[in-house]
């Protein structure tokens, strides 16, 4: 029995409750009584994966179908992986402690580029061939991927049978339904895959052929006969009525986001030009205040969590924000639940609501101006003005706050030294503001923390054409920023720029990179997003070994007419729109948000209706 | 305010829940239960729940004690049912009662430890060596305390109440000092014996089987 084997070693590893399942809220079905099984794999550790909302939704949704079974799988930490490999313990699911290779589907959610090597490692631990073409003609297991990275998962194309574009709530079940038919018929893998391409959102990479020009750019992407040339993403049209779980698996051990969470809206009206999520999840859809309230209440009651958060790209953009929040706060206060409100703009709140919000909002004050000058904020279409920042800081300081955190990006298109110095100057003006307020908290100094990340150009954004700054350019700018800060009240920190380079390569890479990912993994790379595990030199050697240059992918400017590796994938927003937006950025011109004025991004052509009444 | 004491078991998958995690987890169980639990009245009100003794990670038990207060009366049978309907596999309320003793009355705890030799034929040697080990004038072990590591003679503290030789394993039942002041883990004795024994063995199931007052009466 696998369970006995696992338990034999469990006390030798850190946080063993991550590896044995049985948590409150987990759904354990008898494998003999279900028709199709889905191993939902998160390519990172339990602590991180269990925080992911998408997994919670799809886990409950799949299990809501009586004859389908969804079980959770995470990457083991290094200590347990070593034990698993030494003792022939294959990767297994947490519900039935069943080997992953026995499932009908092995599904990975691809949330960030630096988890790619973990996918290979997990497939290998499961005993499943990592290359798609090396899998047998047996119907199972079908290895599928979903999540935002799938918008250009070309670097992973050779590892997956299927990729699912867009939102999974409907298409996942459609795919399982189709699979069940083929299972009963006794179809082969290829027979099933040929049929699956008829479902909108289903992409079978092996049915597409990519050719390259001599300079390394893509010459053509052609599909096999009978296979759609373009794959369109899936969206949920009635977002207010879409399935939402009334219970979560509540872990024993502490995880990153250990709380009940309700998704209040999907998509974003803002159109910040660097932000992939802002375009990928279009159109903007929101849940009614009533749905949010009843879902929050059900979740809190069923999980016993005493913390609730609202999930969205920008909660402030909910059209009924005041009433919605006001009702929620009344409920959470009465029931001794902490409400956390990330990414909330409070500058346009009524006095009454502000009082309520202030009571629940204990965490620090965070802003993401992203750029140091108004000119550059216009370039990236980040419609935050300095007045708004100052106004909110003033409200916060008067309310007793004394620390502010600011997020910026470095290496944005058109950036000059003036923009970098502008970051320090903005922080300085916040410091000055603090001391100009008579009602400021007494006896405490102000603390402004600046956190900078290296800009990573992403596909499906107006900046998909842009080069990333080289390491030398970024290091010079970091030094300039440090030199521009004149007080200890301002603290500066940044992300590792090597990590950003790799992210940029994988984000806009093509299929040839699968060899690089494979080589890097073979040579020991995994958990690349963890500082202590990131092996930059091993990655660089892998590029060299495969005859590819990271700079070609990260630091090269693309012409508007270049065929992108993701040209055959459609996320409803048109390339023409991205080109228009890119040109406007060059002219420092902003685009109004979707609610103010439709900018014709292309979404309505697919949804066939206006995004706003 | 009504004081309630529960005795619960922690077995199977639940034995991998650490004491800290159990503490946090049980808060959610109570939140979910809808029981009128009494909250502390400090700056950060939270349900007042006390575990009499921490149980080492990996140990099983059928005598764990958890106390809490209710703001209004609920029948013991109902409390037991409500909690057991929520608790996951491995955690189960065995009975609910009114506390008789105070937690500081705890003086001893009983444990049962399975020792598995590599080869059942070595069981006899194991037992002979164990007998000799017990005849030593003192058994000094290093014990981690808040003030650092100190050397303790556990010989007078360890009462081996029963030794059962099953063919697959040997079960040692022992009674050790326990409580808020002085707590001894059965593994101190087992490790000390393992260090001098010529027989190689592993431990199997380890359980806490009883919590007693200083005078030997069962803690209730």
From chain A residues 11-30, the ones with a CB under 8 A of any chain B CB are 11, 15-17, 19-24, 26
CB contact under 8 A, A252 and B25: yes
The Cα A355–Cα A399 span in angstroms is 9
Q: Are A265 and A286 in contact (CB under 8 A)?
A: yes
The shortest C-alpha distance from B5 to chain A (Å) reads: 21
The Cα B175–Cα B211 span in angstroms is 9
Residues B112 and B193 occupy one common structural domain:
yes
Residues B132 and B208 occupy one common structural domain:
yes
Residues B43 and B132 occupy one common structural domain:
no
Spans of chain A below 50 pLDDT: none
pLDDT score of A20: 95
Q: May I ask the CATH class of domain A2-232? A: alpha beta
Residues B112 and B208 occupy one common structural domain:
yes
CB contact under 8 A, A304 and B31: yes
**Given a cut of 80, is residue B50 above it in pLDDT?**
yes
What phi, psi does A104 have (nearest 5°)? Answer: -70, -45
At B206, which CATH number?
A: 3.30.70
Residues B8 and B84 occupy one common structural domain:
yes
Residues B144 and B202 occupy one common structural domain:
yes
The verdict on residue B181 lying in a domain is: yes
pLDDT score of A156: 96
CB contact under 8 A, A24 and B25: yes
Residues B26 and B55 occupy one common structural domain:
yes
Instruction: Work out whether the CA dihedral B59, B61, B67, B72 comes out positive or negative.
Output: positive
pLDDT score of A399: 76
Residues B117 and B157 occupy one common structural domain:
yes
CB contact under 8 A, B86 and A250: no
The shortest C-alpha distance from A3 to chain B (Å) reads: 10
Residues B47 and B112 occupy one common structural domain:
no
Q: Name every residue in B having a CB less than 8 A away from some CB of A.
A: 12-14, 16-18, 21-22, 24-25, 27-33, 39, 45, 57-58, 86-90
Q: Give the nearest partner residue to B27 out of A17, A300, A306, using CB atoms.
A: A306
Q: Structure tokens of A556?
A: 């090269």
The verdict on residue B74 lying in a domain is: yes
Which range of residues forms the domain containing residue B199? Answer: 104-213
**Four-point Cα dihedral A190, A113, A525, A162, nearest 10:** -10
The Cα A536–Cα A520 span in angstroms is 10
DSSP 8-state code for residue A558:
P
Q: Are B52 and B67 in contact (CB under 8 A)?
A: yes
Q: Structure tokens of A107?
A: 């599904």
Give B-chain residues touching A94 at CB under 8 angstroms: none
The verdict on residue B137 lying in a domain is: yes
User: A302 in contact with B at a CB cutoff of 8 Å?
Assistant: yes
Q: Give the nearest partner residue to B13 out of A22, A303, A304, using CB atoms.
A: A22
Q: Give residue for tokens 């895959």.
A: A193
CB contact under 8 A, A304 and B45: no
Q: Which of B71, B99, B127 is the last residue of a domain?
A: B99
SS3 A281: coil
User: A79 in contact with B at a CB cutoff of 8 Å?
Assistant: no
CB contact under 8 A, B16 and A20: yes
Q: Say how many domains are in chain B.
A: 2
Residues B116 and B169 occupy one common structural domain:
yes
Q: Which of B72, B99, B126 is the last residue of a domain?
A: B99
Residues B159 and B92 occupy one common structural domain:
no
- Domain limits, chain A: 2-232
Q: Are A489 and A432 in contact (CB under 8 A)?
A: no
Q: Structure tokens of B170?
A: 């040997």
User: A252 in contact with B at a CB cutoff of 8 Å?
Assistant: yes
CB contact under 8 A, B45 and A21: no
User: A247 in contact with B at a CB cutoff of 8 Å?
Assistant: no
Q: Give residue for tokens 């990340």.
A: A453
pLDDT score of A347: 61
Pick the residue of A3, A11, A92 with the most B CBs within 10 A to test the interface with B by mutation: A11
The shortest C-alpha distance from B81 to chain A (Å) reads: 16
Give A-chain residues touching B87 at CB under 8 angstroms: 24
**Given a cut of 80, is residue B84 above it in pLDDT?**
yes
Q: Give the nearest partner residue to A23 out of B30, B57, B88, using CB atoms.
A: B88
Q: Give the nearest partner residue to A304 out of B14, B17, B28, using CB atoms.
A: B28
> Residues with Cβ < 8 Å from B145, sequence gap 6 or more?
none
The secondary structure of A375-437 as a DSSP string is: HHHHHTT----HHHHHHHHHHHHHTT--EEEEEEEES-TT--HHHHHHHHHHHHHHHHHHHH-
The verdict on residue B85 lying in a domain is: yes
The Cα B9–Cα B23 span in angstroms is 15
* Count of other CB atoms within 10 angstroms of residue A100: 22
Instruction: Output the 3-class SS for A30-98.
Output: CHHHCCEEEEEEECCCHHHHCCCHHHHHHHHHHHHCCCEEEEEEECCCHHHHHHHHHCCCCCECCCCCC
The verdict on residue B219 lying in a domain is: no
The verdict on residue B134 lying in a domain is: yes
pLDDT score of A383: 82
Pick the residue of A3, A12, A304, A360 with the most B CBs within 10 A to test the interface with B by mutation: A304
The band of B122, judged by pLDDT with boundaries at 50, 70 and 90, is: confident
CA A287 to the chain's CA centroid: 21
Q: Give the nearest partner residue to B31 out of A10, A19, A306, using CB atoms.
A: A306
How many angstroms separate the most distant Cα atoms in chain A? Answer: 77
The Cα B152–Cα B143 span in angstroms is 7
CB contact under 8 A, B12 and A22: yes
- B-chain residue closest to A297, CA distance: B32
The verdict on residue B64 lying in a domain is: yes
Say how many CA atoms lie within 13 Å of B214 toward its Cβ. 8
Give B-chain residues touching A14 at CB under 8 angstroms: none
At B54, which CATH number?
A: 3.30.70.580
Q: Which of B84, B99, B114 is the last residue of a domain?
A: B99
Give A-chain residues touching B57 at CB under 8 angstroms: 11, 16
Residues B144 and B201 occupy one common structural domain:
yes
The verdict on residue B220 lying in a domain is: no
């Amino acid at each position: 029995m696998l369970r006995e084997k696992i338990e034999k070693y469990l006390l030798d590893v850190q946080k063993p409750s991550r590896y044995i399942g049985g948590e409150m809220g987990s759904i354990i079905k008898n494998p003999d009584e279900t028709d199709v099984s889905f191993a939902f794999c998160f390519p990172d550790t339990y602590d991180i994966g269990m925080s992911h909302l998408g997994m919670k939704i799809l886990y409950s949704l799949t299990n809501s179908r009586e004859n389908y079974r969804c079980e959770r799988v995470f990457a083991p930490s290094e200590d347990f992986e070593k034990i698993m490999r030494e003792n022939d313990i294959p990767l297994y699911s947490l519900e039935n402690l069943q080997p992953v290779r026995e499932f009908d589907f092995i599904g990975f959610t691809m949330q960030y580029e630096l988890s790619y090597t973990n996918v290979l490692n997990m497939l290998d631990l499961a005993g499943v061939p990592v290359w798609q073409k090396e899998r047998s003609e047996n119907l199972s297991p079908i290895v599928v991927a979903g999540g935002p990275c799938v918008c250009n998962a070309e670097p992973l194309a050779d590892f997956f049978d299927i990729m699912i574009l867009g939102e999974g709530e409907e298409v996942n079940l459609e795919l399982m339904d189709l699979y069940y038919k083929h299972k009963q018929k006794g179809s082969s893998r290829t027979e099933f895959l040929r049929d699956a391409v008829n479902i909108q959102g289903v992409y079978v990479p092996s049915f597409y052929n990519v050719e390259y020009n001599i300079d390394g750019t893509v010459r053509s992407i052609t599909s096999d006969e009978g296979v759609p040339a373009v794959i369109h993403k899936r969206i949920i049209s009635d977002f207010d009525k879409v399935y939402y779980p009334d219970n979560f698996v509540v872990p024993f051990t502490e995880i990153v986001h250990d709380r009940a969470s309700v998704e209040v809206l999907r998509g974003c009206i803002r159109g910040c030009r660097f932000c992939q999520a802002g375009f990928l999840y279009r159109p903007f859809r929101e849940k009614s205040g009533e749905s949010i309230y009843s879902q929050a209440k059900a979740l809190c009651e069923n999980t016993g969590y005493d913390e609730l958060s609202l999930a969205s790209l920008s909660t402030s953009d909910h059209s009924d924000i005041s009433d919605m929040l006001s009702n929620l706060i009344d409920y959470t206060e009465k029931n001794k639940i902490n409400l956390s409100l990330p990414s909330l703009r409070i500058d346009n709140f009524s006095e009454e609501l502000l009082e309520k919000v202030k009571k629940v909002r204990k965490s620090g004050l965070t802003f993401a101006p992203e750029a140091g000058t108004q000119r550059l904020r216009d370039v990236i279409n980040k419609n935050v003005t300095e007045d708004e920042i100052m106004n909110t800081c003033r409200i916060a300081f008067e309310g007793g706050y004394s620390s502010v955190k600011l997020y910026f990006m470095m290496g944005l298109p058109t950036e000059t030294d003036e923009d970098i110095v502008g970051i320090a100057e903005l922080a300085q003006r916040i410091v000055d503001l603090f001391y100009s307020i008579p009602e400021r908290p007494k006896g405490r100094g102000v603390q402004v923390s600046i956190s900078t990340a290296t800009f990573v150009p992403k596909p499906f954004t107006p900046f998909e054409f842009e080069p990333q700054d080289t390491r030398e350019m970024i290091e010079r700018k970091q030094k300039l920023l440090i030199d521009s800060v004149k007080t200890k009240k301002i603290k500066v920190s940044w992300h590792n720029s090597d990590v950003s380079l790799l992210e940029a390569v994988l984000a806009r890479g093509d299929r040839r990179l699968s060899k690089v990912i494979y080589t890097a993994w073979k040579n020991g790379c995994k958990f690349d997003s963890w500082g202590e595990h990131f092996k930059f030199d091993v990655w660089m050697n892998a590029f060299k070994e495969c005859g590819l240059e990271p700079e070609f992918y990260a630091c090269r400017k693309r012409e508007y007419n270049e065929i992108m590796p993701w040209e055959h994938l459609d996320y409803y927003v048109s390339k023409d729109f991205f080109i228009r937006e890119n040109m406007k950025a060059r002219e420092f011109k902003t685009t109004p948000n979707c609610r103010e004025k439709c900018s014709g991004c292309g979404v309505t052509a697919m949804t066939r209706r206006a995004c706003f009444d | 305010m009504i004081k309630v004491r529960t005795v619960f078991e922690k077995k199977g998958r639940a034995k991998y829940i650490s004491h800290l995690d159990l503490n946090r987890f049980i808060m959610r169980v109570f939140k979910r239960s809808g029981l009128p639990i009494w909250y502390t009245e400090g700056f950060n009100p939270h349900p007042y729940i006390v575990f009499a003794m921490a149980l080492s990670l990996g140990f099983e038990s059928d005598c764990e004690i958890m106390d809490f207060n209710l703001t209004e009366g609920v029948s013991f049978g109902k409390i037991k049912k409500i909690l057991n309907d929520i608790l996951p596999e491995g955690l189960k309320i065995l009975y609910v009662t009114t506390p008789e003793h105070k937690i500081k009355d705890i003086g001893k705890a009983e444990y049962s430890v399975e020792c598995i030799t590599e080869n059942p034929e070595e069981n006899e040697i194991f037992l002979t060596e164990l007998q000799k080990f017990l005849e030593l004038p003192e058994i000094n072990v290093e014990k981690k305390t808040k003030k650092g590591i100190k050397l303790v003679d556990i010989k007078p503290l360890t009462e081996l109440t029963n030794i059962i030789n099953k063919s697959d394993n040997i079960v040692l039942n022992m009674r050790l000092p326990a409580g808020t002041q002085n707590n001894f883990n059965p593994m101190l004795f087992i490790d000390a014996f393992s260090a001098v024994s010529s027989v190689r063995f592993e431990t199997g199931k380890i359980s806490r089987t009883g919590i007693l007052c200083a005078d030997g009466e069962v803690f209730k």
